[in-house]
């Protein structure tokens, strides 16, 4: 039986000022602050996780904030846009909300059979709100800044810019198990799962476009879901046999990960659904303190001094 990834696990991007990032995603978009930790490969940098209340795979957008770092360049070899699902009757609410918060936006416009609002975050990262009739039920705090009937439900999909799409398309379909679902000019859509599945990857073919440069305001990588450690080991063996340079399995505390670059250069991760974000905090305390992996606890005081002070939802201060 052929293997398939089961959707998008998370997307990780680069931010500038962590406070502006926090204010935008929790205050304006109404996402839940699921986890405040550090970049395990660069512990003097925050790693901020936003999503639904429990951080279910498919809802998590994460950031490495690099204060003072230069802006990146959006181009080929990158995920260039992130699309969130919203209920189909909420477009007017979001247009009014963005206007009230002085966030510039475009649309609503039509693409395939969708209505889409385009906007950018505080660092210029391209986002979309996509209205859908089959949006899943919300899993957000009832007292959050966005009423549940209008709230973001998770990822609808991503757009990746590529010089040529055929080899990437082959990886998505023959290896990862996506299906080709549409074509619109130089945009080629690939969907996860059977007909009607909500998540997609659009390949935007830009043969003469500039090469992207990862820095502030750009996506670092996209992670695909796999259900457990056994399936991840199978994925690693399969991808290595195809000739890709794939990392060993890495423990990220909340999931286990492997990484490789697809033919156009986009960094792919395959991440396990478990153990999840409650492994080091109870569900009603997620995102309320700085959490560190066991090997960094000895450095908590030093890290707390080096990380910039930020204020989260309900006035919570970090690091704490």
- Among 64-78, 132-146, 287-301, the minimum mean pLDDT is found in 132-146
User: How far apart (Å, rounded) are the C-alpha atoms in residues 177 and 7?
Assistant: 10
Residues belonging to the chain: 320
Specify the pLDDT at position 142: 66
Strand order in the sheet with 8-15: 32-39, 42-51, 60-65, 8-15, 219-226, 267-272, 256-261, 250-251
- Among 35-39, 132-136, 146-150, 177-181, the minimum mean pLDDT is found in 132-136
Q: What is the DSSP letter of 137?
A: P
Query: What is the pTM (predicted TM-score) of this model?
Result: 0.96
User: How far apart (Å, rounded) are the C-alpha atoms in residues 254 and 56?
Assistant: 11
Distances (CA, A) of 159 to 25, 60, 296: 20, 16, 35
Query: May I ask the CATH architecture of the domain 8-318?
Result: Roll (3.10)
Average pLDDT over residues 150-178: 96
Q: Is the pLDDT of residue 306 over 80?
A: yes
Average pLDDT over residues 228-254: 97
Residues 77-123 have pLDDT tens digits of: 999 999 999 999 999 999 999 999 999 999 999 999 899 999 999 99
Average pLDDT over residues 152-168: 96
Specify the pLDDT at position 253: 97
Instruction: Show Cβ contacts of residue 278 under 8 Å, excluding neighbours closer than 6 positions.
Output: 54, 286
Burial of 95 (0-12, 13-18, 19+ CB in 10 A): middle
User: How far apart (Å, rounded) are the C-alpha atoms in residues 54 and 50?
Assistant: 10
Partners of residue 219 on adjacent β-strands: 13
**Mean of per-residue pLDDT scores for the chain:** 94
Average pLDDT over residues 37-48: 96
User: How far apart (Å, rounded) are the C-alpha atoms in residues 36 and 281?
Assistant: 11
Q: Is the pLDDT of residue 148 over 70?
A: yes
Specify the pLDDT at position 139: 67
Q: How confident is the model at residue 136 (pLDDT cuts 50, 70, 90)?
A: confident
Q: Is the pLDDT of residue 67 over 50?
A: yes
- For the CA atoms of 98, 100, 106, 109, what is the dihedral angle to 10 degrees? 80
Specify the pLDDT at position 33: 97
For 173, phi then psi, to 5°, come to: -90, -55
Residues 180-201 have pLDDT tens digits of: 999 999 999 999 976 544 689 9
Average pLDDT over residues 139-156: 85
Q: Is the pLDDT of residue 232 over 90?
A: yes
Q: Is the pLDDT of residue 1 over 60?
A: no
Average pLDDT over residues 266-289: 96
Specify the pLDDT at position 3: 85
Cis preceding-peptide flag for 319 (omega within 30 of 0): yes
- Tokens for 290? 């700085």
Residues 7-34 have pLDDT tens digits of: 999 999 999 999 999 999 999 999 999 9
Q: Is the pLDDT of residue 135 over 90?
A: no
Average pLDDT over residues 171-176: 97
Q: How many CB atoms lie within 10 A of CB 89?
A: 12
Average pLDDT over residues 292-318: 94
- Among 138-142, 146-150, 172-176, the minimum mean pLDDT is found in 138-142
């Amino acid at each position: 039986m052929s293997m398939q990834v089961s959707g998008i696990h998370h997307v990780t991007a680069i931010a500038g000022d962590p406070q502006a990032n926090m204010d935008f995603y929790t205050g304006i978009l109404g996402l839940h602050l699921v986890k405040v930790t550090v970049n395990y490969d660069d512990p003097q940098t925050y790693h901020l996780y936003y999503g639904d209340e429990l951080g279910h795979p498919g809802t998590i957008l994460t950031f490495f904030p690099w204060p003072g770092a230069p802006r990146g360049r959006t181009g080929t070899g990158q995920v260039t846009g992130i699309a969130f699902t919203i209920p189909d009757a909420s477009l007017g609410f979001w247009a009014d909300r963005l206007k009230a918060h002085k966030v510039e936006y475009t649309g609503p416009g039509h693409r395939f059979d969708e209505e889409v609002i385009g906007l950018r975050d505080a660092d210029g990262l391209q986002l979309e709100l996509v209205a859908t009739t089959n949006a899943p039920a919300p899993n957000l705090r009832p007292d959050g800044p966005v009423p549940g009937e209008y709230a973001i439900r998770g990822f609808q999909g991503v757009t990746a810019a590529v010089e040529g799409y055929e080899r990437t398309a082959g990886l998505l379909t023959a290896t990862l198990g996506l299906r080709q679902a549409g074509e619109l000019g130089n945009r080629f859509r690939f969907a996860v799962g059977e007909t009607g599945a909500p998540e997609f990857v659009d390949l935007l073919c830009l043969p003469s476009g500039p090469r992207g440069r990862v820095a502030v305001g750009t996506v670092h990588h996209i992670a695909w879901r796999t259900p457990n450690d056994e399936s991840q080991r199978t994925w690693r063996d399969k991808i290595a046999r195809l000739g890709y340079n794939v990392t060993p399995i890495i423990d990220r505390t909340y999931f286990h990960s492997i990484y490789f670059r697809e033919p156009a250069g986009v960094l792919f991760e395959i991440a396990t659904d478990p153990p999840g974000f409650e492994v080091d905090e109870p569900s009603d305390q997620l995102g309320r303190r700085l959490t560190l992996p066991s090997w960094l606890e000895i450095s908590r005081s030093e890290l707390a001094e080096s990380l910039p002070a930020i204020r989260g939802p309900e006035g919570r201060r970090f690091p704490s």
